[in-house]
């Protein structure tokens, strides 16, 4: 029986591979039409900061009422919570005044959904009126914008936060009415006394009529006397003497010059 050997397969000639076409870019519209969901990386929520200081405190130069103090605290809070700050607003006005330029601009931006959350230090920075606060809450909820009072740990989106907003808003309005009532009582008392502030009209004189009569006599006898010496001898204040001499005497008595002495 003959044995057959298997022949080795002959190598096939190599054919160069066809170049691959570059991958097509993503077409979100076609993928969405095909029912493919695209997962995007979550973005940091956008936040707007709002600060308000009182006009009275600003006029008095109170550094604690600098809006930058509030904004600095809000920036730290935003960084700690992972918010992306997209806008900052500040007003110098009374909390009882609802017509504030920056507040209105912020509310308009909220309606356009330019941010997701508004950060404030306290609720009274927005308004001191409960009616205005509740109206603003409804507008922000309709726009889908959250409100957080950082110092009071109040968040509008939570049920507890909504309850706290009602309670603190009512307390702020009560406090404002109490202050207004005290001011009205003080003005009524001042009006009853005949003055706007309640203090007696004018200032009590710092000298007696006898002192002024003595000063006039000394001026007539010694027209060259200095005001300092005249004040020492009469017990009157130097500035008071100057004012009285100008107002009542028309100035100091004339001192005779050398020519007048020679003619005499």
Residues noted as catalytic = 54
- Local structure of residue 72 (DSSP, 8 states): H
**Cα-based angle 125, 129, 133 (whole degrees, multiple of 5):** 70
SS3 99: coil
Cβ of 66: how many Cβ atoms within 10 Å? 16
Pairing of strands 154-155, 146-149: antiparallel
- CB 77 within 8 Å of CB 150: yes
Q: What is the rounded distance in angstroms from the CA atom of residue 210 to the CA atom of residue 81?
A: 76
CB 245: neighbour CB atoms within 10 A? 18
Q: Write b or e for each residue in 110-145: b if 16 or more Cβ atoms lie within 10 A of its Cβ, otherwise e.
A: beeeebbbbbbbebbbbbbbbebbbebbeebeeeeb
CA 73, 79, 81, 83 torsion-angle sign: positive
**Angstrom distance (rounded) from CA 67 to CA 244:** 48
- C-alpha radius of gyration, the chain, whole number: 42
The H-assigned helical ranges of 50-111 are: 55-59, 67-81, 101-111
């Amino acid at each position: 029986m003959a044995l057959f050997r298997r022949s080795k397969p002959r190598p096939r000639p190599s054919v160069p591979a066809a170049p691959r076409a570059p991958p097509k870019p993503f077409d979100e519209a076609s993928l969405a039409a095909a029912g493919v969901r695209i997962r995007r990386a979550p973005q940091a929520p956008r936040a707007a900061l709002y600060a308000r200081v009182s006009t009275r405190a600003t006029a008095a130069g109170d550094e604690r009422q600098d809006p930058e103090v509030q904004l600095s605290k809000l920036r730290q809070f935003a960084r700690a919570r992972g918010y992306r700050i997209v806008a900052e607003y500040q007003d110098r006005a009374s909390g009882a005044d609802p017509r504030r330029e920056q507040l209105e601009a912020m509310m308009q931006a909220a309606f356009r959904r330019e941010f997701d959350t508004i950060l404030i230090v306290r609720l009274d920075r927005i308004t001191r009126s409960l009616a205005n606060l509740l109206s603003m809450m409804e507008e922000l909820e309709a726009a889908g914008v959250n409100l957080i009072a950082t110092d009071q740990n109040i968040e509008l989106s939570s049920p507890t936060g909504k309850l706290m907003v009602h309670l603190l808003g009512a307390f702020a309005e009560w406090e404002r009415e109490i202050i207004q009532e005290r001011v009205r009582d003080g003005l009524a008392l001042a009006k009853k006394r005949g003055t706007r502030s309640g203090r007696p009209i004018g200032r009590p004189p710092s000298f007696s009529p006898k002192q002024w009569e003595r000063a006039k006599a000394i001026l007539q006898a010694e027209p060259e006397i200095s005001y300092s010496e005249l004040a020492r001898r009469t017990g009157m204040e130097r500035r008071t003497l100057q004012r009285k001499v100008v107002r009542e005497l028309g100035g100091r008595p004339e001192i005779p010059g050398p020519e007048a002495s020679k003619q005499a």
